Chains A and B, each alone.
Chain A
Amino acid sequence: MKRTFLSKRNAFLSSASISWGVFACVGVFFVLLVRLFAPNIFWYAFAPVFRVADSLVIKSHILYSSFGDTAALALKNEQLLNENAALVSENNALLVKVVSLSSLFGSLATERMNASGILTGVVARPPESPYDTLVLAGGMKDGIISGMEVFGAGGVPIGVISSVRTNFSQVTLFSAPNMVTHCWVGKANLPLSIHGSGAGVMSASIARSANISVGDTVFAPGPGALPIGSVTRIDSDPSAPEIVLRIVPTINLFSITWVVVRDTGTAFSNMFSSATSTRP
C-alpha cells in the first residue's frame, strides 16, 4: 500500500509567512540591538530621517489646519479678496503715476534739467479749481515760493505760482486773463506778448507781414526756449495792420496730474531791473 507523505504544517511558521515577515522581524531586531548597544550610531543614522519627518509633519499640519475651520477660511478668503482689490487699485494708480512721470521727465537730458525742480501732484484743475488755475499738493513746506514757474510734461511751462500755503499752492496759468508772457513765434523767432484769454486759451497780436501760419510753435523763455503752445487759429481783419493769433497750450491743462515747480530766476530778474540806474 502506497502511503502518501504529508508534511506537518505549522500555523505560526508556514512557508508563506517566513518570507518577508521573518526577514522584517530579524532586521528590526537588528536595529533594536543597535539602539540598545550603540545608541550614538543609531541616532546619528536616524537623525536625518527624523528631520525630514518633522518638516513633513509641520507642512501637513499647516495644510490640514488651513482647511480646519471653514468659517475662518471664508473670512480669510474674503479678506484676501479685499486686499487683492486694494492692491489692484493701488497698482493701477502706480501705473498711471509711472506714465505721468515718464511723460513729465521724458529724456535723460530733461530729467537732469528737472532734477533741481520740485515734483508735486496736482490736487485740483479746471473745472474743480477756478478757471486757469491749478491747486498743487506742495507748499512752503516743500520749498515752493511765490513766483516760481510751473512745468508740465516734456518741460512745457504752464504757469506761475501765485499763492502759497504751508502744504498747498496755487498756479495761475499763462492762459489766465491779465497774464502777459513774452514769447517767440515762427521760424524767425519773432518776439510777441501773449495775453491770457481764459479757458486755457491765449492770444497775441503780431504784424501781418510776419507770415505766421497755423501750427507754428510758440516758445517761452526759460532755460533755453521752451514750447508753450501752438497757433491754432489766425483772426485777420483786412482793415487792420495786425493779425490776432489764437494759441492753445501744448499739453492738456484739464487732465494734468503731475508738475515740476522750479525757480527760473524771476525774483532775481525783478530785483535786477529795479536796481538799474537807468530806471526813471
Chain B
Amino acid sequence: MCTFFAFLSVIFFPWQFSILFATVFSFTEPLVLLAVGIFADTLYYTTSLHTVPFFTLYGAVGTIVAFVVRSRVRASIMGR
C-alpha cells in the first residue's frame, strides 16, 4: 500500500513529495526508492534535458544506503 502511494505521488505530487514519501517508505521497503526512481524516469526522462537518468541513479543510491542502514540497525539489535 505504501509502495503504491509512492508511485502515485510521482504522478500527482511534485517531485519533492515523491522523494519524501519514497524515503519514508524505504525504512520498511528499501527497494521502493529504486522502483520509484525508475518509474519517475520512465515517465519524465528525456534525453534532451539530461544525459543521465538522475531519478534512477538517486533511487539506486538511496536503496543501497537504506539496505546498509537496515543491516546496521539489525546488527545493533542482535548485539544487545
Contact = CB atoms under 8 A, between A and B. Distances in A.
B21 to A, nearest CB: 13
Nearest to B71: A11
A63 B71 CA distance: 43
A28 B39 contact: yes
Interface string A45-66: 0100110110011000000000
Contacts of A21: 3, 29-32, 34-35
Contacts, number: 52
Interface string B10-54: 011000000000000000011110110011011100000000000
B32 A53 contact: no
A35 interface: yes
Interface in A1-43: 11-12, 17, 19-22, 24-25, 27-29, 31-32, 35
Contact of A29 (B38, B43, B68): B38
Interface residues of A, number: 22
A144 to B, nearest CB: 67
Contacts of B67: 11-12, 17
A3 B31 CA distance: 35
B43 A46 contact: yes
A25 B34 contact: yes
B69 to A, nearest CB: 10
B38 A28 contact: yes
Interface string B48-67: 00000000000000000001
Interface of B: 3, 7, 11-12, 29-32, 34-35, 38-39, 41-43, 67-68, 70-71
Contact of A24 (B32, B43, B71): B32
A29 B12 CA distance: 20
Interface in A157-177: none
A184 to B, nearest CB: 83
23 contacts: A11-B70, A17-B31, A17-B67, A20-B32, A21-B3, A21-B29, A21-B30, A21-B35, A24-B31, A25-B34, A25-B35, A25-B38, A28-B35, A28-B38, A28-B39, A28-B42, A29-B38, A31-B42, A32-B41, A32-B42, A49-B11, A53-B11, A56-B12
Contacts of A24: 3, 7, 29, 31-32, 35
Contacts of A46: 43
A24 B67 CA distance: 16
Contacts of A22: 31
A55 to B, nearest CB: 11
